[in-house]
Amino acid sequence: MLTLLGRRLIGALLALLLASLIVFVVLEVLPGDAAQLMLGINADPAALAALRAELGLDRPAPARFLLWLAELLQGELGRSHTNARPVAALIGERLGVTVPLALFAFLLSTNLAVPLGFLAALRRDRAGDVVVMALSQLGLAVPEFWLGLLLILLFAVSLGWLPAGGFPGWQGGVGGALAALLLPAVTLGLNQAAILARVARRAAITALAADHVRTARAKGLSEPRVILGHVLRNTLATLLALMGLQLAFLLAGVIVVENLFYLPGLGRLLLQAVTQRDVVVVRDLVLLFVFVAIALNFLVDVLVAVIDPRPRATA
Amino acid sequence: MRVVTWIVAALLLATGASAKDMLTLGVTLEPDHLDPTAGAAAAIDEIVYANVFEGLTRFDETGAVKPQLATSWTISGDGLTYTFALKPGVKFHDGAALTSADVKFSFDRARAPDSVNAQKGLFAAIDKVEAVDPQTARVTLARSEGALLFNLAWGDAVIVSPASAAGNKTNPIGTGPFRFQRWVQGDRVQLVRADARAKLAAATFKFIPDPAAQVAALLAGDIDVLPNAAAPEALQQLSVDRRFEVAVGTTEGETILAINNARKPFDDVRVRQALSYAVDRKAIIDGAMYGYGTPIGTHFAPHHPAYVDLTGLYPYDPAKARALLQAAGLAQGFKATLKLPPPSYARRGGEIIAAQLKQIGVSVEIVPVEWAQWLSQVFRDSDFDLTIVSHTEPMDIEIYGREKYYFNYRSDPVRAALRALDRTPGEAERFGLYRQVERLIAEDAANVFLFQLAKTGVWRRGLVGMWRSSPVQANDLTGVYWLE
């Protein structure tokens, strides 16, 4: 178990280093000049040169890459090119929107998809299955921006129950903040649930056909005990792997939904930083996303190892 | 009973008393920072121009130059010395008094070698700035500059204080009727009343990038105003909705199909004229802008008194366009690329123009680009055949005289006329010279002049004083209030 952990840790560090190099190179190759973007089309060449020097863009690329790594090792995230605010503060503010939104959508999606997937598996090829699968097909096909817009038109414009977008902040009260996150979370959650429900159904069908389930039934175990004790446990490894991916996706800033609901989250920060060529913000953010993905992956591996004793026995 | 009283009080607060002196505006783009002297983004001026920051002069809604921090000025006989009398009793929002030393500081900072002012050219003629006494500032020019008072009205020429200038990007401190309160990045900027000139107690700018979401926010009552509605397709629906008022006005945005005049075959005037004949402006305005926009025949704003209507010079005439191509030896037509930046006027207009050019045998390959790419490839490196862009700077016809400019137009008569403009302060003579340049560039078909962008504002009925037209991309809220 410990050697497994150690190997994973070294792998994670290498992945981070590789990701930082890729991010840096991509941003170098991408056409666009942060100074010209800020100063616009009438900018004087001297003013552009002055701004480039101020941003440190006049230094050669390898020097800037090493400087960035050195700063990262000291826990420094640098300052935004465009407004000189510390990147750590920019990201910190946005986490207060993106993390609750991701968890909210994740809870909705999981609580909806897993029971429905199981229901469909148990009613395989019957009406319940067909309805669930049709709904999940629809959920996959409907684009987020359209679903979100329909929800806004219904719940914000026609009924006036919820705000059409924006985020009032947590200091204004938990109720208002949750109300602002409800429609975006539903928009995101339905999409994720559609995928998860299909996977849950498939995993449950496989588990239901297993010999030990037949044995359990033959022993006369009640159906709920068969499902919870034997089927669910055997599908958990598959479900956790997908759920880890989905949570990473949700935390990595969901650009479309944050834009539609004008939420100040990480996805919007990333989009704005890319369009402004604010490379300091982009590279730190992307690296953060890589880190989150690796950490979640690691967590899922540990959980699976706890649930499923087989890999432990061989390792 | 007590609970009921509380609820009633809360409802009154939420709907009545407070709503009538507060305003929430929805704007498309969030600025990178809030210092108009260190960035070209229109999103900065949309919030701070005339609200937070003020200059010696300013633009009013019609684009006319008016006194602001300078109450009056005298110009020496040779046109080289401007003496400004400052408005007495003006204070910055941090409490510092405005003096002529601030004027000197602001202009010297904008002109300095390490200046990052986006419009440094506005100050190019200035030789020195002096504080004669605390209430008098003198600007001496190295050469005559007929447009100095106009130049000083730009957001890039606002007066800042040495004590606060360095922090203006995130904590803007000016002399305007509204004081900056808070910027929740990604969400909103809040301004509050600084003095009695402001009729509103507070104004909030919310950043809503998605055009459909902007309209939904307005319909849901989350915002009161869309000063520039990004979804022209929704205006029809809003204009018949009694809760709202739709105002269609003008801007300084000349939208053009820019041509790389240095590239073959566009270096041939007959080819450029053929493009002009091949483009049906009305179809573009109707198709891409839902009818909002005024056709133009040259690079000048139609609402300006010096405008010449040259839209009849090249009427839509594909047969004539084909004949011109034939004369230029291109009877078989040719291939060209069309680079389109993100705004809908470019992306939608580009599709229509490509279809129209196909009619005369020009097959156009559309290349969508984002702004960063557009600026570096098209604008900086002139690496393009055709592009569509709106030039939103006021009175920017002088770009046709620049030594190196992205569309590579070169004309000695135009340059001579523009040089004469620099030396001419008298309005009638200036207008004459402008008209001359307008004609010259149209005859040369330097670019295909499409239409003037419209300003399409929507707001809740009962709101008074919003600008209907925007000579600068600004939302001056000083005179805005709610009718009871």
The whole-number average pLDDT for the span A16-42 is: 84
pLDDT of A2: 66
Q: For residues B195 and B323, state if they share a domain.
A: no
pLDDT of B176: 96
Interhelix angle A87-122/A279-307, rounded to 10 degrees, is: 40
B87: DSSP letter: P
pLDDT of B9: 46
> Residue B18: inside a domain, yes or no?
yes
Distance CA A225, CA A214 (A): 13
A90 vs A81, residue with greater confidence: A90
* Distance between B399 CA and the closest CA of chain A, angstroms: 9
Q: Is the peptide bond before B265 cis (omega within 30 degrees of 0)?
A: yes
Q: For residues B226 and B347, state if they share a domain.
A: no
pLDDT score of B163 more than 80: yes
pLDDT score of A117 more than 60: yes
Which helix or strand (DSSP H or E) is residue B283 part of? helix B281-289
Distance CA B17, CA B204 (A): 17
Q: Residue B376 and residue A32: Cβ atoms within 8 Å?
A: yes
- Comparing A200-204, B176-180, B253-257, B278-282, the range with the smallest average pLDDT is A200-204
List, as one string, the DSSP characters of chain A: -HHHHHHHHHHHHHHHHHHHHHHHHHHHHS---HHHHHH-TT--HHHHHHHHHHHTTTS-HHHHHHHHHHHHHTT---B-TTT--BHHHHHHHHHHHHHHHHHHHHHHHHHHHHHHHHHHHHTTTSHHHHHHHHHHHHHHHS-HHHHHHHHIIIIIIIS--S-SS----GGG-HHHHHHHHHHHHHHHHHHHHHHHHHHHHHHHHHHHTSHHHHHHHHTT--HHHHIIIIIIHHHHHHHHHHHHHHHHHHHT--HHHHHHTT--SHHHHHHHHHHTT-HHHHHHHHHHHHHHHHHHHHHHHHHHHHH--HHHHH-
Q: Could you report the per-residue pLDDT of A49-76, keeping only the tens digit for each? A: 888 888 888 888 888 888 888 888 888 8
Q: For residues B188 and B72, state if they share a domain.
A: no
pLDDT score of B221 more than 80: yes
pLDDT of B349: 94
**Whole-angstrom distance between the N-terminal and C-terminal Cα of chain B?**
30
> Residue B237: inside a domain, yes or no?
yes
pLDDT of A253: 67
The whole-number average pLDDT for the span B195-199 is: 94
> Residue B248: inside a domain, yes or no?
no
pLDDT of B303: 87
B98: DSSP letter: P
Measured between CA atoms, the residue of chain A closest to residue B212 is A149
Domain boundary among B148, B167, B186: B167
Taking all residues of chain A, what is their mean pLDDT, rounded to a whole number?
Answer: 86
Q: Could you report the per-residue pLDDT of B367-386, keeping only the tens digit for each? A: 999 888 898 889 888 999 99
- Comparing A274-283, B110-119, B152-161, the range with the smallest average pLDDT is A274-283
Q: For residues B66 and B114, state if they share a domain.
A: yes
pLDDT of A56: 82
Q: For residues B80 and B220, state if they share a domain.
A: no
Q: Could you report the per-residue pLDDT of B1-19, keeping only the tens digit for each? A: 444 444 444 444 444 444 5
Q: What are phi and psi of A126, to 5 degrees?
A: -105, -175
Q: For residues B363 and B321, state if they share a domain.
A: yes
Q: What is the CATH number of the domain that holds B201?
A: 3.40.190.10
Q: Residue A93 and residue B185: Cβ atoms within 8 Å?
A: yes
For residue B354, the number of C-alpha atoms closer than 13 Å in the C-beta half-sphere is: 22
Q: Residue B213 and residue A165: Cβ atoms within 8 Å?
A: yes
The whole-number average pLDDT for the span B433-445 is: 96
Q: For residues B141 and B205, state if they share a domain.
A: no
Residue linked to tokens 């950490």: A295
Q: Could you report the per-residue pLDDT of A150-189, keeping only the tens digit for each? A: 999 999 988 989 988 888 888 878 888 899 999 999 999 9
Pairing assessment for the beta strands B22-27 and B57-59 based on DSSP bridges: unpaired
Assign B44 a pLDDT band (cuts: 50, 70, 90). Answer: very high
Q: Are A115 and A285 in contact (CB under 8 A)?
A: no
Q: Which of A242, A243, A248, A236 is nearest to A294 (CA)?
A: A248
Q: Are A109 and A193 in contact (CB under 8 A)?
A: yes
Biggest CA pair distance of chain B: 90
- Hey, which residues 31-50 in chain A have their CB within 8 Å of chain B? 31-33, 36-44, 46-47, 50
Q: For residues B267 and B378, state if they share a domain.
A: yes
A16 vs B267, residue with greater confidence: B267
Assign A311 a pLDDT band (cuts: 50, 70, 90). Answer: low
- Comparing A127-141, B321-335, B351-365, the range with the smallest average pLDDT is A127-141
Q: Residue B376 and residue A54: Cβ atoms within 8 Å?
A: no
Domain boundary among B109, B136, B167: B167
Assign B231 a pLDDT band (cuts: 50, 70, 90). Answer: confident
Which helix or strand (DSSP H or E) is residue B72 part of? strand B70-75
Q: For residues B447 and B467, state if they share a domain.
A: no
Tokens of B449: 């002049």
The sign of the torsion formed by the CA atoms of B219, B223, B227, B229 equals negative
3-state secondary structure at position B127? strand
> Residue B258: inside a domain, yes or no?
yes
In a mutational test of the B interface, the residue from A27, A29, A37 whose CB has the highest number of chain B CBs within 10 Å is: A37
pLDDT of A279: 86
The model's pTM is 0.85
pLDDT of A313: 55
How many beta carbons lie within 10 A of that of residue A218, not counting itself? 8
- Hey, which residues 200-259 in chain A have their CB within 8 Å of chain B? 259
* Distance between B61 CA and the closest CA of chain A, angstroms: 23
The residue ranges of DSSP E strands in B208-290, in sequence order, are 225-226, 244-259
- Comparing A26-40, A168-182, B139-153, the range with the smallest average pLDDT is A26-40
* Distance between A252 CA and the closest CA of chain B, angstroms: 16
pLDDT of B432: 94
Distance CA A56, CA B211 (A): 36
* Distance between B24 CA and the closest CA of chain A, angstroms: 12
Q: Residue A268 and residue B186: Cβ atoms within 8 Å?
A: yes
A92 vs A32, residue with greater confidence: A92
Q: Residue A44 and residue B121: Cβ atoms within 8 Å?
A: yes
For residue A121, the number of C-alpha atoms closer than 13 Å in the C-beta half-sphere is: 23
Q: Residue A167 and residue B187: Cβ atoms within 8 Å?
A: yes
Based on its alpha-carbon atoms, the radius of gyration of chain A, rounded to whole angstroms, reads: 24
A26 touches chain B (CB under 8 A): no
Measured between CA atoms, the residue of chain B closest to residue A264 is B186
> Residue B275: inside a domain, yes or no?
yes
The whole-number average pLDDT for the span A87-99 is: 91
Pairing assessment for the beta strands B362-368 and B334-340 based on DSSP bridges: parallel
Taking all residues of chain B, what is their mean pLDDT, rounded to a whole number?
Answer: 91
Domain boundary among B167, B197, B228: B167
B410 vs A39, residue with greater confidence: B410
Which helix or strand (DSSP H or E) is residue B85 part of? strand B81-86
Q: Domain count of chain B?
A: 3
3-state secondary structure at position B35? coil
The sign of the torsion formed by the CA atoms of B171, B177, B182, B184 equals negative
The whole-number average pLDDT for the span A147-151 is: 91
Q: Which residues in chain B have their CB less than 8 angstroms from residue A272's CB?
A: 30, 186
The sign of the torsion formed by the CA atoms of B459, B461, B463, B466 equals positive
pLDDT score of A252 more than 90: no
Q: Are A246 and A192 in contact (CB under 8 A)?
A: yes
Q: For residues B396 and B264, state if they share a domain.
A: yes
List, as one string, the DSSP characters of B405-456: -TT----HHHHHHHHHHHH---HHHHHHHHHHHHHHHHHTT-SEEEEEEEEE
Q: What is the CATH number of the domain that holds B126?
A: 3.90.76.10
pLDDT of B14: 46
Q: For residues B381 and B409, state if they share a domain.
A: yes
Q: Residue A43 and residue B187: Cβ atoms within 8 Å?
A: no
Q: Measured between alpha carbons, how far is residue A222 from residues A215, A227, B83 in Å?
A: 12, 9, 96
Listed in sequence order, the residues at least 6 apart from B106 whose beta carbon sits closer than 8 Å to its beta carbon are B37, B157, B158, B159, B160, B165
- Comparing A90-104, A286-300, B12-26, B55-69, the range with the smallest average pLDDT is B12-26
Which helix or strand (DSSP H or E) is residue B136 part of? strand B136-141
Q: What are phi and psi of B267, to 5 degrees?
A: -75, -10
Q: Residue B380 and residue A46: Cβ atoms within 8 Å?
A: no
pLDDT of B16: 43
The whole-number average pLDDT for the span B188-208 is: 95
- Hey, which residues 149-208 in chain A have their CB within 8 Å of chain B? 149, 152-153, 156-157, 160, 163-167, 169
Q: Which residues in chain A have their CB less than 8 angstroms from residue B118's CB?
A: 38-40, 42-43, 47
pLDDT score of B138 more than 60: yes
In a mutational test of the B interface, the residue from A44, A101, A150 whose CB has the highest number of chain B CBs within 10 Å is: A44
> Residue B41: inside a domain, yes or no?
no
3-state secondary structure at position B150? helix
pLDDT score of B150 more than 70: yes
Distance CA B360, CA B331 (A): 9
- Comparing B6-20, B109-123, B302-316, the range with the smallest average pLDDT is B6-20
> Residue B108: inside a domain, yes or no?
yes
Residue B163 lies in domain: 55-167
| Range from A192-196, B8-12, B405-409 that averages highest in pLDDT | B405-409
Residue linked to tokens 């559609």: A194
Q: What is the CATH number of the domain that holds B317?
A: 3.10.105.10
Q: What are phi and psi of B389, to 5 degrees?
A: -155, 150
Q: Are B368 and B351 in contact (CB under 8 A)?
A: no
> Residue B48: inside a domain, yes or no?
no
Q: Could you report the per-residue pLDDT of A260-300, keeping only the tens digit for each? A: 999 999 999 998 888 888 888 888 898 889 888 888 888 88
Q: Could you report the per-residue pLDDT of B244-267, keeping only the tens digit for each? A: 999 999 899 999 999 999 999 999
Biggest CA pair distance of chain A: 85
Q: For residues B278 and B318, state if they share a domain.
A: yes
**Closest partner CB to B120 (pick from A47, A153, A165):** A47
ipTM value for the complex = 0.81
